[in-house]
Amino acid sequence: AQKITQTQPGMFVQEKEAVTLDCTYDTSDPSYGLFWYKQPSSGEMIFLIYQGSYDQQNATEGRYSLNFQKARKSANLVISASQLGDSAMYFCAMRDYSNTGNQFYFGTGTSLTVIP
């Protein structure tokens, strides 16, 4: 079974609008971490935001927020006030102790295009 599922291969958003990128995860461990990374065309994976499974509040980092719904096993990324520079691939990732706890499991990514 897929550990991380991103069902939106591509998304478009108007500049200055908000956009939600979907992510669902699968784990039976009570302790896990959820991450979002941005990968522009240059290739580098840029860390955006982290949510721990025991965190009571949704994580926020500037224009990024994570809509964490534990019962539904979803961790959607919300980008507010989109900018042209937000156009990139976005990956959701999870780390748990189901294997050795050493690796991230990544989704297949969502390509976001911001339209001027």
Binding site for other proteins (CB under 8 A): 4, 31-33, 35, 37, 42-47, 50, 52-53, 91, 93, 95-97, 99-109
Lookup: tokens for 33:
């971490």
What residues pair up with 25 in beta bridges, in sequence order?
Answer: 4
- Residue placing its CB nearer to other proteins in the complex, 64 or 106: 106
Q: In whole angstroms, how close is the CB of 66 to other proteins at the nearest point?
A: 14
CA dist., res. 34 & res. 16, Å (int): 26
Q: In whole angstroms, how close is the CB of 83 to other proteins at the nearest point?
A: 22
Q: In whole angstroms, how close is the CB of 53 to other proteins at the nearest point?
A: 8
Q: In whole angstroms, how close is the CB of 80 to other proteins at the nearest point?
A: 22
Residue of 15, 21, 12 lying closest to 78 (CA atoms): 21
- Residue placing its CB nearer to other proteins in the complex, 42 or 71: 42
CA dist., res. 95 & res. 3, Å (int): 10
- Residue placing its CB nearer to other proteins in the complex, 8 or 53: 53
SS3 call for 39: strand
| Dihedrals phi, psi of 86, to nearest 5 degrees | -80, -10
